[in-house]
């Protein structure tokens, strides 16, 4: 009886570990995508800060130089 319970517990634990591994992988992918998005937002904030500090004309010229326009 106890060996049967142990094997059932091990089976349930294995299934649980597999499910958690899949969830963890999904969470890691979400973090990577969020990191890219946050980097983009960071650069946009730099442009806004430059526009506020130096005026829209200077910020526009800076953006043109950065983008190579």
Instruction: List, for residues 37-69, the tens digit of each pLDDT value.
Output: 899 899 889 878 878 888 777 777 877 888 887
Q: pLDDT grade, residue 1 (50/70/90)?
A: low
Q: Exposure pattern of 29-56 as b/e (b: 16+ CB <10 Å)?
A: eeeeeeeeeeeeeeeeeeeeebbeeeee
| Alpha-carbon gap, residue 53 to 11, rounded angstroms | 62
Classified as helix, coil or strand, 63 is helix
Q: Is the pTM of this model over 0.85?
A: no
């Amino acid at each position: 009886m106890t060996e049967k319970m142990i094997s059932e517990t091990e089976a349930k634990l294995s299934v649980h570990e597999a499910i958690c591994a899949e969830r963890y992988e999904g969470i890691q992918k979400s973090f990577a995508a969020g990191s890219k998005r946050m980097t983009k937002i960071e650069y946009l904030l730099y442009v806004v800060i430059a526009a506020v500090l130096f005026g829209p004309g200077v910020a526009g010229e800076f953006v043109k130089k950065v983008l190579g326009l």
